[in-house]
Amino acid sequence: LRCRYRNSWSEPEPLKPGELTAIKLRLGQIGCRFPAGSRIGLMITSSDFPRILPHPNSMAPTWREKKPVVARNAVLHGPATPSCLSLPVVDLD
């Protein structure tokens, strides 16, 4: 997901530096089985190069940006800024 498309694919909106933004991701039909006691992680990143195109962190098209910007990502947590990762659990027994 490129966050500029978080509300609409046809009307991209930039994120505003320093502004809190709620992001909801729908992952579709994914199934993973984890052994009891396992721990999972969530990685937040601005790029997954070379797997996908590098992210310029600007509103310019990825393939045209000549001066990419370094992004800083943060997931806020606490009473005033709660964050969560909600995953469904299916009982297979």
Q: What is the pLDDT of residues 33-81, one digit of tens each?
A: 888 899 988 888 777 777 777 777 787 776 777 787 788 888 888 898 8
HSE, side-chain direction, 13 A CA sphere, residue 32: 11
Q: Evaluate if pTM is beyond 0.85.
A: no
Question: Nearest-CA neighbor of 4 among 47, 57, 69?
Answer: 57
Average pLDDT score over residue span 18-43: 83
CA distance 65 to 61: 6
pLDDT of 22 strictly over 80: yes
CA distance 76 to 84: 10
Q: What is the pLDDT of residue 55?
A: 75
Q: Are 46 and 55 in contact (CB under 8 A)?
A: yes
Q: What is the pLDDT of residue 38?
A: 92
Q: What is the pLDDT of residue 36?
A: 87
